[in-house]
Amino acid sequence: MAARKAYPLRIDPELYKALERWAADELRSVNAQIEYLLAEAVKKAGRGRPKRAGGPGA
């Protein structure tokens, strides 16, 4: 598995509270929830890495 990049994040306390509640509803940590939301946004925007021909999911 690839190493994960640590990144300090400054966030509004009210937004963090909302993320905490959302993460708890989906049985995730706040960190995992933020990562999930960012990954979904990247996919939706079509900004992810292109899939390689012949690779998984091709």
The per-residue pLDDT for 55 is 54
The per-residue pLDDT for 11 is 96
Of residues 23 and 49, the one with the higher pLDDT is: 23
Q: Average of pLDDT values for 50-55?
A: 64
The per-residue pLDDT for 58 is 46
Which residue, among 26, 27, 33, has the nearest Cα to 9 in the 3D structure?
Answer: 33
- Cβ contacts of 20 within 8 Å, gap of 6 or more: 30
The per-residue pLDDT for 51 is 66
Of residues 51 and 6, the one with the higher pLDDT is: 6
